[in-house]
Amino acid sequence: MRRPRDEESFKEFNYVSKIFKDEKLISQIPGNLPKVALIFPNDYEVASSSLAWSWIEQLLANRGIGVERFFYEPWFKRFYSVEEQRPIDEFSTWLFTFQFENDLRNIADLLIKRGIPLNASDRENYHPLIIIGGPVNLFNVEILSDIADLLFVGDLECAIDQVSQALMNDNKFESIKEMLKIPQVYSKVHGKENFKNCQGTLDIVPFSHFTTPHSVFKNKLLVEIGRGCIRRCAFCVTGYTKKPVKFANAESVIEIFRKYKTEEFGLISATITDYPYLNTLLDHMERENIKFSVSSMRVDDVNERLLKMLKVTDHKSFTVAPEGISQRIREIMLKDITQEGIFNGLTLGRNVGFEHVKLYYIIGFSEETSEDYREFFWFIDEVNKMGYRKITLSINPLVPKPKTPFEYRKMIDRKDYEERIKYIKKNLQDKAKIYAESYKESFMQYQISRLKGIETIEFIKENFMKK
């Protein structure tokens, strides 16, 4: 392994070493010769909050592949692995998980910094094999079709044995040949146009092999109890692309609780309250005094027991997503939640002692009228009257996504968005702390979600390389 030789590389090396030292290993990963760099193209906090980053490593390592995790910081130049602090150049396969559209900027930056041509057809035999998977592929597999050598569509569990076998190969072209036989693999550059998505079964319940204080789920062992969503909110790709919905068997989840009983848990699912065996899990966790937090839940389905149990872990604030500023807008966005349901949940939150509530909203619908805003301002007044000491509003513009009923909608323009934010602030700034998502970042997400093939490389040159 090459050690860093200059000051900048030392700084990067030490940063990654420290991150690794802070991780607590829950289960052992077999050590094999370095082969696959598993790259989460975002910072460590985001990467370690995603169970996929750990689970894919476990799936590959348990089949004999030498795999190490990488994450991204804009100031990184060499890119060292978390586990062994090996430079990424020592890995012959780079496997990216593409979770958010705007991570395109980070994928491009990493490739450029390591001297890898962006266009797959410009790469040589000595360049690493670039494979890209992740949820963005589910709604637009063409975004990276000119950049990736191979795109994997769907859950890796479906073809993990074939993928591992293919990656065992020392010859890049033999690996590609084997990978092209896999039904979930799409490759524009190697001429395989037919592919089919596939979703894993959750028969084996995924859980993380490490915990860390730097994750959003601080020091929690992540366990995936559901994949996909039974709802169909028109702004959200999850309800339309991850089908059919899968739920983990409660006994298998409880087995994990028993095995790692000294840990605290982070339960991962699109909405935890839709998990059909939630009461069975709560019974066990209550009995055994297990602490846990959840990735997301529906406010109209919460009950006092669940909220009380969450509160004792580390939930200082109660997070709720009414999404629409009025009931009429919620109906347009197919958010099947009523005002009464939201009020009931918020009242329960106060009853169990939450003092801070965070409310998430999406604005920017062409149908919005001053009547809808009046209802919104009245609603926040009512929440104030419930006795919450702090109300935080997170406002995002609607980003219409492919493969959803909003696919053909246009995104609101900047001026209009900023005016609506100003109007909200004027009416609510005494009652709530207001965070408005940046228009620039949201519009970039909108643009990237629609890119195809060579357009993506042009977009990168235009937007990320000109400065």
What phi and psi, each to the nearest 5 degrees, are found at residue 325? -75, -15
Nearer to ligand SF4, 105 or 227 (CB): 227
Q: From the CB of 338, what's the least distance to ligand SF4, in Å? A: 14
Please tell me whether residue 250 binds ligand SF4 under the rule CB under 6 A.
Answer: no
The correct pick among 231, 308, 358, 431 for binding ligand SF4 (CB under 6 A) is: 231
Nearer to ligand SF4, 190 or 232 (CB): 232
Quick one: which segment of 169-177, 199-207, 233-241, 249-257 binds ligand SF4 (CB under 6 A)? 233-241
Least CB distance to ligand SF4 at residue 298 (A): 7
Please tell me whether residue 421 binds ligand SF4 under the rule CB under 6 A.
no
Minimal distance, residue 135 CB to ligand SF4, in Å: 12
- By beta-carbon proximity to ligand SF4, the closer residue of 128 and 266 is 266
Can you tell me the distance from the alpha carbon of 151 to that of 184, in angstroms, rounded to the nearest whole number?
8
**Does the protein bind ligand SF4 through residue 333 (CB under 6 A)?**
no
Q: Which of 237, 247, 249 is nearest to 403 (CA)?
A: 237
Q: Which segment (111-119, 134-142, 225-233, 406-414) binds ligand SF4 by CB under 6 A? A: 225-233
Q: How many residues bind ligand SF4 (CB under 6 A)?
A: 9
233 binds ligand SF4 (CB under 6 A): yes
Q: Does 391 help bind ligand SF4 (rule: CB under 6 A)?
A: no
Per CB under 6 A, 229 contacts ligand SF4: yes
Report the site for ligand SF4 in 269-298 (rule: CB under 6 A).
270-271
Q: Which is nearer to ligand SF4, 240 or 354 (CB)?
A: 240
Per CB under 6 A, the segment of 95-103, 236-244, 301-309, 421-429 that binds ligand SF4 is 236-244
Per residue, the 3-state secondary structure of the chain, as one string, reads CCCCCCHHHHHHHHHHHHHHHHCEECCCCCCCCCCEEEEECCCHHHHHCCHHHHHHHHHHHCCCCCEEEEECCCCCCCCECCCCCCEHHHCCEEEEECCCHHHHHHHHHHHHHCCCCCCHHHCCCCCCEEEEECCHHHHCCCCCCCCCCEEECCCHHHHHHHHHHHHHCCCHHHHHHHHCCCCCEEECCCCECCCCCCCCCCCCCCECCEECCCCCCCCEEEEECEECCCCCCCCCCHHHHCCCCEECCHHHHHHHHHHCCCCEEEEECCCHHHCCCHHHHHHHHHHHCCCEEECCCCHHHCCHHHHHHHHHHCCCEEEEEEECCCHHHHHHCCCCCCHHHHHHHHHHHHHCCCCEEEEEEEECCCCCCHHHHHHHHHHHHHHHHCCCCEEEEEEEECCCCCCCCCCCCCCCCHHHHHHHHHHHHHHHCCCCEEEECCHHHHHHHHHHHCCCCHHHHHHHHHHHCCC
Of 324 and 349, the one with the shorter C-beta distance to ligand SF4 is 324
- Stretch binding ligand SF4 (CB under 6 A), from 23-31, 162-170, 229-237, 431-439: 229-237
Binding range to ligand SF4, per CB under 6 A, among 81-89, 226-234, 351-359, 436-444: 226-234
Cis-peptide into 244, omega within 30 deg:
yes
Nearer to ligand SF4, 283 or 300 (CB): 300
Q: Is 322 in the site for ligand SF4 (CB under 6 A)?
A: no
Q: Extract the tokens encoding 316.
A: 């200082």
239, 345, 364, 397: which one binds ligand SF4 (CB under 6 A): 239
The region of 58-66, 234-242, 358-366, 391-399 touching ligand SF4 under the rule CB under 6 A is: 234-242
User: Can residue 399 be called a binding residue for ligand SF4 (CB under 6 A)?
Assistant: no
Task: Output 19 or 362, the one with its CB closest to ligand SF4.
Answer: 362
- Residue from the set 49, 238, 293, 319 that interacts with ligand SF4 by CB under 6 A: 238
Residues in touch with ligand SF4 (CB under 6 A):
229, 231-233, 236, 238-239, 270-271
